[in-house]
Amino acid sequence: MQVTINVNGEDYTREIEPRHLLVRFLRDDLGLTGTHWGCDTSNCGTCVVLLDGEPVKSCTVLAAMAAGHEVRTVEGLEVDGKLDPIQQGFMEEHGLQCGFCTSGMQMTGRALLNRNPDPSEAEIREAISGQLCRCTGYLNIVKAIQWAAAHPAEKTVGS
Ligand code: FES
Ligand code: FES
């Protein structure tokens, strides 16, 4: 089947099998390897992208389900060449070690701040509760999202 999916503002049309997963479409077909694939069982959240602004685990979404919709990946977080505050926050607060979970955490963080620009620590922890980090102990990830909340940009994706 043929699908057209808007990814980071551009339309991409590809021939795919109906069972093709969105994470594979992004990584294998478009070369957007910033979206990671960590578990295949819907547990780790490294594959989170925004689908029409909502965070989804792209290993649980068929590419066909995203046809005609807008997907945003970590490669599309920058606006006009400027890092999203959520990316800056991870730098400022050392919110990563190996970095494997980072893109998913950043996409979830961006979605959270879009709907709640001033989240409490408990709300941040709840938002990332579907995602695993094997390195940081989460404290600096929470601080990174708090940093982004305290330094909003004029323009961010999905806002
Ligand atoms: S790869 Fe999607 S949840 Fe782990
Ligand atoms: S920084 Fe290594 S898994 Fe989170």
Listed residues 76, 107, 137: the one ending a domain: 76
Same domain assignment for residues 13 and 50 = yes
71 and 99 part of one domain: no
Instruction: Among 54, 76, 98, give the residue marking a domain's end.
Output: 76
- The residue to mutate among 24, 47, 73, 100, having the most atoms of ligand 1 within 8 angstroms of its beta carbon, is 47
**What is the pLDDT confidence band of residue 9, given thresholds at 50, 70 and 90?**
very high
Residues 64 and 104 in one domain: no
| Per-residue pLDDT at 159 | 66
Mean per-residue pLDDT, 3-27: 97
* Last-in-domain residue among 57, 76, 95: 76
User: 27-75: per-residue pLDDT in tens?
Assistant: 999 999 999 999 978 999 999 999 999 999 999 999 999 999 999 999 9
Give the single-character DSSP code of 79: B
**What's the domain count of the chain?**
2
pLDDT, one tens digit per residue, over 134-157 is 999 999 999 999 999 999 998 888
Of the bound ligands, which one is closest to the alpha carbon of residue 99? 2
67-87 burial string, b = 16+ CB within 10 Å, else e? eeebbbbbbbbeeeeeebbbb
Closest listed ligand to the CA of 97 = 2
In-domain check, residue 159: no
71/7 same-domain check? yes
* Residue 15 structural domain: 2-76
Q: Is 101 in the pocket of ligand 2 (CB under 6 A)?
A: yes
pTM of the entire structure?
A: 0.96
Determine the distance separating the centroid of ligand 2 and the alpha carbon of 142, expressed in angstroms.
13
Residue 85 has pLDDT above 70, yes or no: yes
